[in-house]
Chain A
Amino acid sequence: MAVRDVNGLKQWQRRERGKQFAIWAAWLAGVAVFTYCWQLISEKTIWMFVLDSPRQAADLAERMVPPKWSYMSSLWVPLWDTLNIATLGTLMAIIIAVPVAFCAARNTTPSVYFVRPVALFVIVASRSINSLIWALMLVTIIGPGVFAGVIAIGLRSIGFCAKLLYEAIEEIDPNQVEAVTATGASGAQVLSYGIVPQVLPAFAGITVFRWDINIRESTVLGLVGAGGIGLQLDASISTLAWTQVSLILLAILATVVVSEWVSARVRHAII
């Protein structure tokens, strides 16, 4: 540590001098890069438009109110579709993610050198592609509609769920597993008595959390034709029907709030 001997007295500082200097230099570099970037962005911005933006925003907001409440009657079905896309997509993801997670977790994988890398690849592949892009591809493959949305949400969620679940599996208490093994239980019994009870709360939490995210994600899938309320949103924006847009945004907001509430309740009940 940074202890120096000065005239027989031991002086203590938090860091060595060299390290302190390095940290200071890093801060300096950070500030310099920030300033440079600021300048670059500033040059490429048309400031006239930016200065104008409060007025534009106020103008748009004015055109959005009052929301066209009567339009709600044609939103119930797409809203229901959106919920279904999220729910079925999450269900599909969970069914695939559970075995993938058990293959990916170091302490449960059948083979660290062969099966585990495959499972990890599945996770990374699923996570690296946004659901909107999955939807874009799936609409071309299986045509537009709710089904493409379900698959898109499902494929995107596999990685998320499997990753969080396999991390939970790796963090279990090995003593409980050892104790169940010591009774002479078979492999499947060790899984169901020693491991599953330990990861069940995490599993429930992850599922509800992902369902919650998926409701938000599925509201935009309609933009690329994969069903749900996004379809109406896209149509309303292109026809400049701003009072309809505001109603759709309110409907999405209400749905998300309700889903947040439901997921919080479910998580609370299980954990």
Chain B
Amino acid sequence: MLRLHGLVKRYRTGDLALKNIDLEVPQGQVMALIGPSGAGKSTLIRCINRLVEPTDGKVYLKDLELTALSKRALRHARRRMGMIFQEYALVERLSVMENVLSGRLGYTGFWRSFFRRYPQADIDEAFRLLERVGLVDMVDKRADELSGGQRQRVGIARALIQNPEVLLVDEPTASLDPKTSRQIMRLICELCEERNLAAIINIHDVLLAEMFARRIVGLQLGEIVYDGPPGGLTPDALTQIYGEEDWEATIEKVDEEDLTDEERAERVRLMGGH
């Protein structure tokens, strides 16, 4: 579904953020990308939809070479990739509905979008999605009136109304409390399963990554140093990704700590898949 070949990004400051990344994400796979701050996680997913221009290498979405597209063709290709952001990145002064519908901008002409005259089919879909993420009562609220978890749900609806084939998710839980974080991660994973979407989820919380993703890729200083199932994240592997630290506690915690029954079952199911 998504293939990265020899992806390199060097910033104008000379920092080499990505060194020759090769990665393939098949359809329907939820992949967590973990790594310390500055490892290049954000740069990597932004190089896919070219919010950041890669310096070298190729990115394919199915058979389409994203890195070779003209500006216009890139806009069309971006419609196929939904993106969810760390600080939600909703347009704060627009309503929830406007924010969700903004996911259709790539399909809508300028004046139609300017006068908010979206096709009824888009509006139906927006209501369906808002219902699915549990925000149907918030349609007319302004985005800045919502709580963090609610905002991220709007962000998810905005990404899904694009009818994407891939989800690019950048630290979706970084500004949320632990409970909301799990709810949001669960929602993203469920939706990916429902729609058979491939997803790359940047996340710095190892526990959450292990809990929800079938495949984990560890990035360190722009290089992939781990690629495998959550079960393979041994203390050695974590040391390789993050550096020396006592990792036993982190691994214990996932096994023992306060998982709800549902989450434990989910985890067992996910682990069982491998």
Tell me the A residues contacting B by CB distance below 8 Å.
Answer: 173, 175-176, 178-186, 188-189, 192-194, 197-198, 200-201
Contacts and interface: CB of A to CB of B under 8 A. Distances in A.
B113 interface: yes
B102 A193 contact: yes
Contacts of B79: 183-184
Given A185-B75, A192-B113, A179 B92 contact: no
Contacts of A183: 78-79, 83, 102-106, 158, 162
Contacts of B102: 180, 183, 185, 193
A180 B88 CA distance: 12
A250 to B, nearest CB: 41
B75 A179 contact: no
Nearest to B93: A197
Nearest to A197: B93
B203 interface: no
A197 B86 CA distance: 20
B265 interface: no
18 contacts: A179-B85, A180-B91, A180-B102, A180-B105, A181-B78, A182-B51, A182-B81, A182-B83, A183-B78, A183-B158, A184-B77, A189-B108, A189-B110, A192-B114, A193-B94, A197-B93, A200-B93, A201-B93
B66 to A, nearest CB: 12
B146 to A, nearest CB: 15
Nearest to B108: A189
Interface residue SS majority, chain A: helix
B110 A186 contact: yes
Contacts, number: 82
Contacts of A185: 75, 102, 105-106, 113
A180 B162 CA distance: 12
Contacts of A179: 83, 85, 89-91, 155, 158
- Most B CB within 10 A of own CB, among A175, A179, A200: A179
Which 7 pairs from chain A and chain B are nearest by CB?
A184-B106, A184-B78, A185-B105, A179-B89, A184-B79, A175-B89, A182-B83
A198 B91 contact: yes
B5 interface: no
B88 to A, nearest CB: 8
Contacts of A198: 91-93
Given A173-B89, A180-B91, 10 more contacts: A175-B89, A178-B51, A179-B158, A182-B81, A184-B162, A186-B105, A186-B110, A193-B91, A193-B102, A194-B91
Nearest to A193: B102
A193 B90 CA distance: 10
A189 B116 CA distance: 12
A197 B98 CA distance: 11
A175 B91 contact: no
Contacts of B75: 184-186
A180 to B, nearest CB: 6
Nearest to A201: B93
Nearest to B71: A187
Contact of A175 (B49, B85, B103): B85
Nearest to A174: B89
Contacts of B93: 197-198, 200-201
Most buried by B among A180, A185, A186, A197: A185
A203 B103 CA distance: 26
B253 interface: no
Contacts of B108: 189
A176 B92 contact: yes
A175 B46 CA distance: 12
A159 B76 CA distance: 39
Contact of B78 (A175, A182, A200, A201): A182
Interface string B148-191: 00000001001000100000100000000000000000000000
B87 interface: yes
Contact of B113 (A173, A181, A189): A189
Interface string B195-213: 0000000000000000000
